[in-house]
Structure 1
Amino acid sequence: MNFVFDFGRVLFRWRPETLLRQALPQRVTDEASARHWVGQVFQAYGGDWGDFDRGTVQPPELAQRIAARTGLTPDEVTAVIQAVPGELQPLPDSLALLQRLRAAGHRTFYLSNMPAPYADHLEATHDFVRGFEAGIFSARVGFNKPEPEIYALAQQRFGVPAESLLFFDDHAPNVQAARQAGWQALVFTDAAQAERDLRTAGCWPD
């Protein structure tokens, strides 16, 4: 079995509400305002932020676009953009799962919606990212999950049959799209649940 990992909320911490509380303390003062600004800034990772993931907009333009749309100042949006790398910290249990799969001889790959500046940061900062056999960051190929093109490109780059890939992603539409591409895929909640799911599927490397 060949395992494919998403990054945000799978291998790396991603708490947008917390990030915005820290980056925009004057705007985000409670749970309701946190939800509001998460929706406004990230747009469910479509819209402006989706273009950032796709690699078609860079941080200065992104800040201007979000500011014009939301009423935040460009400096406020820039503060959010710059805060993201600090939020993306490895999840210890997920990293342990990855290492156990590698130690058992399984090949590991990644497929992540990730803007180019953050992809560069993660590669430069975390050795385990460079330990994957291959991977795709959305901004480097011009497609985002759950678009079918990114799964086809990933399978081609990984060089293995679709049915031999097992994909972990926290977002159900991305999992469904992977299944439609012929992959096996599981919705990732946490490493313990992933292990239980793998055991149930008979894929755990005992």
Structure 2
Amino acid sequence: MASPPNPLRDAGVPEHVLSLLDRLHAASVEQEKGLNISSLTSGEIHAATRDAFVALDQDKSQFVYQLARAINAKNIVEAGTSFGVSTIYLGLAVSANVQASGGQGTVIATEHEASKAGVARKHWTEAGEGVSRHIDLRVGDLLQTLKENVPTIDMLLLDIWTPMALPTLKLIQPHLRQGAVVIIDNTISSATRYKDLLGYLRSKDSGFTNLTIPYSNGLELCVYSP
């Protein structure tokens, strides 16, 4: 049976980056086997995953890459970088978009845990300068680190402790361009935890159109059209 299509391979991403991503996703899957997240409270999840990958699934990451390429995203905010796996996809997309149409591009990556940020930097170095030069890593409370120096944003990826999701969206929303995309992971399995966020996005006058994509545990795709 033929291998499923991989937009990164089709785009000519170097083999060492593809191998790195395969290795990191495999490590994330292995770690998650020992985490029964569905039975935990929001606070318990935050504590249990403090030192874990919990990376965006590989198929979702490829979708996010493809979407970032489709909308020519050059400025992206990632709320919840962890060990920097999905950040590599975002950096690759921004790098390709800048190369194709010029200008500059940045992935503003946020991570609360300094130890995770250090590991993420090592992964980006391994991926190479084509990725790392486009990443602006901000370590600490993102409600503080995202208060300043935020350009017009094309895409926001929310893969974060659920109580932080809505405050983060509200902080970034004034910077979203017309047609910007917001992506939220696990909106089926964590619908209760995301109740406030989803209620806000789906309210009549929110300015967002919303679609739940039936990836494992759900992936919300929201387009900002105020």
**Structure (1 or 2) with the greater helix fraction:** 1
Larger radius of gyration: 1
**TM-score, L = length of structure 1:** 0.43
Q: Which has the higher strand share?
A: 2
- Which structure has the higher relative contact order (CA within 8 Å, separation 6+)? 1
Q: Please, what TM-score do these two structures have when normalized by structure 2?
A: 0.40
